[in-house]
């Protein structure tokens, strides 16, 4: 009877306490964090035309974007994101999908208050207002439909043209020297984690699949 009771307890504990899942082997490659942004307070931003609710801080010398609830910044061919504009940066192992909608010459357009030949009366947005409203603005397509980003006589580009521009910007981005250096460094580090040379990696992969 006692053995039966103990067996029941063991079965109950086995069901109540889940067996740990098999550990997944993730290759964590660490990269240096970008230098902090020296700015007296949360920066004001503007909404970038022809983008999917991308906001940018023009008064900061480095490119600093806000999109989808995160702050984003490129540095040395890599991307980092954070919930805060001035700290908490973490490496993001891809190019955020908003970036190829960003006009590369946006700083000149901002300086001239002119967007592709049309007057651009951009609107300054405080950080507090941004945090309170970015989700509803996104849901309502506020900047595109209601405000046209402040561009007078704004006419949206046809979708095929927008896609062509995205592809062109992607190719140009991949040709940047700092981006190519990062890709080479990433491949080298991955090779060091997975083996000293391609032959060793191939031999190990073949052994694992036998």
| pLDDT tens sequence across 54-105 | 999 999 999 999 999 999 999 999 999 999 999 999 999 999 999 999 999 9
Residue 39 lies in a domain: yes
Residue 5 lies in a domain: no
d(CA 180, CA 175): 7
d(CA 32, CA 39): 21
Instruction: Residue 126: give the domain boundaries.
Output: 31-157
Placement of tokens 């949360």 in the chain: 42
Residue 23 lies in a domain: no
Residue 55 lies in a domain: yes
Kindly state the tokens that stand for 113: 């208050």
176 with 146: CB under 8 angstroms?
no
Is this prediction's pTM over 0.85?
Answer: no
Residues sharing a CB contact under 8 Å with residue 21, sequence separation 6 or more, in sequence order? none
Residue 51 lies in a domain: yes
Q: Each residue of 5-37: pLDDT tens digit?
A: 444 434 343 333 333 332 222 346 788 999 998
1 or 31: which leads in pLDDT: 31
Residue 174 lies in a domain: no
Residue 178 lies in a domain: no
d(CA 156, CA 149): 11
Q: What is the mean pLDDT of the chain?
A: 83
Q: Which long-range contacts (CB under 8 A, 24 or more apart) does 89-98 make?
A: 89/33, 89/34, 91/30, 91/31, 91/33, 95/170, 95/173, 96/67, 96/72, 98/51, 98/52, 98/54, 98/65, 98/67, 98/68, 98/72
Kindly state the tokens that stand for 80: 């980092």
Q: pLDDT category, 135, cuts 50, 70, 90?
A: very high
Could you give the number of structural domains in the chain?
Answer: 1
Residue 171 lies in a domain: no
Q: CA distances (Å), 121 to each of 49, 59, 108, 112, in order?
A: 11, 16, 14, 10
């Amino acid at each position: 009877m006692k053995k039966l009771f103990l067996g029941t307890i063991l079965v109950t504990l086995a069901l109540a306490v889940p067996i740990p899942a098999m550990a997944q082997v993730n290759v964590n490659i660490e990269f240096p964090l970008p230098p902090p942004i020296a700015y007296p307070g949360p920066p004001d931003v503007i909404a970038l035309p022809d983008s999917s609710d991308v906001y940018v801080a023009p008064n900061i010398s480095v490119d600093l974007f806000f999109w989808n609830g995160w702050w984003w910044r490129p540095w040395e061919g890599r991307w980092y994101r954070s919930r805060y504009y001035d700290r908490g940066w973490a490496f993001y192992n891809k190019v955020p999908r908003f970036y190829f909608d960003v006009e590369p010459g946006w700083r000149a357009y901002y300086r001239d208050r002119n967007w592709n030949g049309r007057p651009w009366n951009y609107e300054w947005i405080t950080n507090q207002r941004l945090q309170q409203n970015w989700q509803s603005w996104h849901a309502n397509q506020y900047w595109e439909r209601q405000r046209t980003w402040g561009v007078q006589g704004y006419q949206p580009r046809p979708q095929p043209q927008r896609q062509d521009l995205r592809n062109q910007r992607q190719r140009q981005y991949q040709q940047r020297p700092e981006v190519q250096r990062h890709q080479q460094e990433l491949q080298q580090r991955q090779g060091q984690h997975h083996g000293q040379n391609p032959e060793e990696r191939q031999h190990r992969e073949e052994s694992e699949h036998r």
